[in-house]
Structure 1
Amino acid sequence: MPRSLPPLNALRAFEAAGRHESFSGAAEELNVNHSAISRHVRGLEDRLGAQLFRDLPRGVALTQAGARYLAAITPALDRIAEATEVFHQRPAGQVTVDAEPLFTMKWLVPRLGDFYTRFPDVELRLQANSELADLSRYEADVALRFFHAGPANQAAPLLSDAPLYPFAAPKLVPTPLPPEELLKLPLLRDRREDTWRHWAKLAGCPPPAAAASDWRMRARLAYESALAGHGVILASSELAQTDLAEGRLVQCSDIGFRMGSYHLVLAEGVLRRSAVRLFRDWLLDQSAALRSGKQ
């Protein structure tokens, strides 16, 4: 028995308009004009005998029937796209990556050579920001961010839950020190939370002297200060890997603790693009050791 299928162009127009809740946004994505989207959607509504959008003073919104239909057909269109892309020998495209500056410089950038070698036709556009980009407004495709309790209501695979340890330059801590001696050194603060007080409690030591104010350095500045030998920093261990291996930092204690995790935040619908899926899979592979506790 033949399938009862609407025209593919009508489905693509509806699906894009439903995701954006905008005919103009769908037209821009599909590189057609606004009237083409409207014509396809109205034709699909006539075929289904249902209203999929309701008009608003500025734009459109999905009806309940439209929302149900969108939820049903989006995975099907994604599967068709993925099956088709198997025949493309060299994946290509652009991926805009928004990441915290320190994580970008210390963990991501040193590994990008492997990505460029494996996927030369995929262009990564890196932007380092302290604040999370608005992915709903397409400021970026994906974002790499640290969360204390994990992101809420977002597609965000875990990258790393590596713990915080104290690190310092060898010229400041040339030999291992007991915790009570370590706490007498200048303690660099790059977080609003009193992480040093928590570390001292875990080490069985009296808390360090309270800071005169809640002032703190930016994470990058605090880390560079530690490299320069100006103090001890509590940093997530994945950030220090390269500097530890090259002798610029030493880990001052085996006492560490977790206070959050890095996640890959994905814009809605972005995984329908093969370039984004390649970057996600590559990133999860690169960070696998950070989730298993191996450093």
Structure 2
Amino acid sequence: MRRLPPLNALKAFEAAARHQSFTAAAHELNVTQTAVSQLVKSLEERLGVALFERRGNQLSLSPRGMGYLPAVSDAFDRIAAATAILDETDARQITLGCGPTFAMRWLIPRLPDFQRAHPECEVRLSTTLAVRELQSQSPLPDGVDAAVRLYDPSKPEPGLMADPLFTADLFPVCAPGLAARLKTMADLARETLLEVRHAPGEWRDWLSAAGLGSMVPSSSLSFDFHAFALQAALDGAGVALARRPFVTDDLKAGRLIAPFALSLPKGGAWCLLYRPEAAGGSAFLKLRDWLIGAAMPPTA
């Protein structure tokens, strides 16, 4: 059983601590200054610690109060966020973060299916997540309800849920005409390798796994995002490394060919990331179920 102080006393403490004033806290909570003072005093007595230092008309947090405030404020913030998700208007909207390549090459072509199935839901895409990833920021930035990105479920982050969608394995792809020239892996030495600047080691790792670690390609082209490298591969400019969700449709349609069976495991997976409180939103639950279903490999 949880040992929780009275909620009203916690609210009085949190408001008074933010404002550094019982009077301002009373105005925010629509009660009297005396009521706030009594609630805080009762909380201090219950906890057995002084949360404020009182010097005449001056009010400041004690060291114990300063340590207690962040946890209390965070708890109220989480309750407010979870409550907002349950609101009928908010429950119809969800902001989904993902990188531009995933959005362009897998998600956007499939979103009309979700919209036809759930016209009452509004999905807002935020592709700024890719920039945040490169800057090693939080995998789930503020303002994003859920995100699809590369993640290692074996190393979970506190307060974050993860549903795996796809593997992150890498394999070469190219246009059919170019694929016809690739009889063996060693033939890659005569072709242009399409690289991605923020993932410079991908070709090196794949070639090493293929036993071609010392191979020097005839030429290479470098791009900012995987989406650009894959478009260049579609246009016959060279051979790109791909992850399965990026090229599923092109492989099925024959626009791209995977000339070799070797697929390099990269660890982790493409996952749907979200905070536990997001699971209370109807739009999120519908989108989550749809994403997991759409990511499943087709049955024979």
Equivalent pair of 2:173/2:256 in contact (CA under 8 Å)? yes
Q: 1:174 to 1:36 in 2, by over 3 A?
A: farther
Aligned twin of 1:197: 204
Structure ID, larger Rg: 2
One-letter amino acid of the counterpart of residue 138, structure 1: D
Equivalent pair of 1:162/1:237 in contact (CA under 8 Å)? yes
1:278 and 2:281 aligned: no
Cα displacement (A) at 1:61: 6.7
Stretches of structure 2 lacking an aligned partner (at least 5 in a row): 20-26, 53-59
Counterpart Cα distance in 1 of 2:116 and 2:203: 41
Aligned twin of 1:26: none
Aligned twin of 1:63: 68
Cα displacement (A) at 1:138: 2.7
Equivalent pair of 2:193/2:221 in contact (CA under 8 Å)? no
1:118 and 2:117 aligned: yes
User: TM-score of the superposition, structure 1-length normalised?
Assistant: 0.67
Counterpart Cα distance in 1 of 2:259 and 2:236: 13
Aligned twin of 1:180: 186
Stretches of structure 1 lacking an aligned partner (at least 5 in a row): 24-33
SS at match of 1:146: strand
1:36-115 equivalences in 2 (<5 Å): 36=29, 49=46, 63=68, 70=75, 92-115=91-114
Aligned twin of 1:35: 28
SS at match of 2:144: coil
Name which of 223, 233, 238 aligns with 1:231: 238
1:143-292 equivalences in 2 (<5 Å): 143-147=147-151, 153-154=157-158, 155-157=160-162, 158-174=164-180, 177-190=183-196, 191-209=198-216, 216-260=223-267, 261-267=269-275, 269-289=277-297
Counterpart Cα distance in 1 of 2:180 and 2:246: 21
Equivalent pair of 1:91/1:274 in contact (CA under 8 Å)? no
Aligned twin of 2:131: 131
Counterpart Cα distance in 1 of 2:140 and 2:194: 35
Report the number of matched residues. Answer: 261
Equivalent pair of 2:174/2:233 in contact (CA under 8 Å)? yes
Q: Deviations over 1:28-60 (max 9, x none)?
A: xxxxxx814889x95986887559x87769xx9
One-letter amino acid of the counterpart of residue 117, structure 1: R
Cα displacement (A) at 1:239: 1.0
Q: Deviations over 1:176-225 (max 9, x none)?
A: 52111134211111143422222223223353227999965422211111
User: TM-score of the superposition, structure 2-length normalised?
Assistant: 0.66
Counterpart Cα distance in 2 of 1:65 and 1:194: 41
Compute the RMSD of aligned alpha carbons. 4.8
Counterpart Cα distance in 2 of 1:199 and 1:137: 32
Q: Deviations over 1:259-290 (max 9, x none)?
A: 14222222463333232232223222322439
Counterpart Cα distance in 1 of 2:102 and 2:138: 19
Q: 1:98 to 1:272 in 2, by over 3 A?
A: same
Q: 1:64 to 1:183 in 2, by over 3 A?
A: same
SS at match of 1:289: coil
Counterpart Cα distance in 1 of 2:31 and 2:105: 48
Equivalent pair of 1:169/1:226 in contact (CA under 8 Å)? yes
Counterpart Cα distance in 2 of 1:117 and 1:37: 46
Cα displacement (A) at 1:246: 1.6
Q: Which has the higher helix share?
A: 2
Q: 1:136 to 1:184 in 2, by over 3 A?
A: closer
SS at match of 1:177: coil
Counterpart Cα distance in 1 of 2:241 and 2:215: 14
Cα displacement (A) at 1:141: 1.3
SS at match of 1:107: helix
Cα displacement (A) at 1:81: 11
Q: 1:151 to 1:248 in 2, by over 3 A?
A: farther
